[in-house]
Structure 1
Amino acid sequence: METSLDKVALFQFQDIFRRQFETDVKTEPFLALWKLVWPSIPHDFFLSPSSSTGNHHPAENNNAGGIVIHTLKAVEIGKHLMDLYGISGLEREIVLFSLYLHDICKYGFPWGKSTSKVHGITAADFLKAFSKVEEPALKRAFELISTHMDPWKGESFSPLIPGEDLLLQVLIQADYLASREKISFIPPELKGFVN
């Protein structure tokens, strides 16, 4: 049951997330899909902690709005990695779109109580349901989102081979670094809103 405090937090996290996405992602196939997807993003995405167990994420990610905080941190880190690797233009938009929406179904769909091990695939399928176009840039983003958890498929972390897929590596690295306890920070967009 949503409380009035939840509704205020929901509105604030939705507003910040939407504004940041629309500031960063400017290419038409992504914006057109965004307009269709935005109203259907589960409210729990904006209110849930980033980790259902409290493990694998710093404290600021483990409260209400934690997935949004984690996502905005991953986007910030991803921007720096793309600057470092010289990723620009459409490839940059593909990575940004993927970073913003990689955890959109983190707890499954319909929303569950714990992190779904296949949430990348679920997120890509959720997004594909809104896309009627066989747009190559969207297909690439769906591929990145669906495979962003691949290094953790086995019993332990299995890093990618250097140079194998730079865009996927940026997504995985940004996601990984944004969830490390020793890399704790509040994204600039949330300063003053989250402590």
Structure 2
Amino acid sequence: MSPHHERPASLRHSWFSGAVFGLALAAAPAAWAADPPASVAMEPGSLFQFLTPQLNTSQRQILAAFPGYTVGPENGRRVYILFRPDCSHCHALWRQLQVLRNTNPEVAALQFRWIPVLVTVADAQRLRPYWHTPRNARSLAGLMSGAPAAETVDAPPSMLQLEQRMAPALGWLRQTGAQDVPAVVAPLPRRTVRLRLGDPVDSVLLAWLGVS
């Protein structure tokens, strides 16, 4: 078992830090800045519920239009993950989902849309070689692992072009009140759609995804 899965905490945080690149996240309420009180229920699906803002129809439609890397079957139920290219917690979530997709048929049936947000210059530098690629599972694997981009569709964009292209996704995330990545949105029929933050242990992540 990897150290990532040996950690006893039910949720691991990845607070935004470092020099701000482009849009800065607005200051969030004080409750976001601290660990939740011990009285918070720790069952999967209800964990840190007060840190999971609801998303309305307009927000979900905007989210669906952001460009990103698509992994999974074309007709699968879509799950959105907003991530920073230079975020170790985002890389850990990707590795965790790689394992779950290979071992859990319900997770394998989902389609994941990984949407980059740029907060630091390092985020942009890491994303740039991989942006003008097919944006599929292979390209995302290169981005997450640091392997050379295997295939490009066009010349990489300039840093300014990349910042401008990615700014709307960061602005959207900021407007939800979130100051954390990775951010997971897994719409389920007839359920309130929430944005959930962090890279949780398997049991919590499966509950977020709505699978067993």
When normalised by structure 2's length, the TM-score is: 0.33
**TM-score scaled by length of structure 1:** 0.35
Which is greater in Rg? 2
Larger relative contact order, structure 1 or 2 (CA cutoff 8 Å, min sep 6)? 2
Higher strand share: 2
- Structure with greater proportional helix content: 1
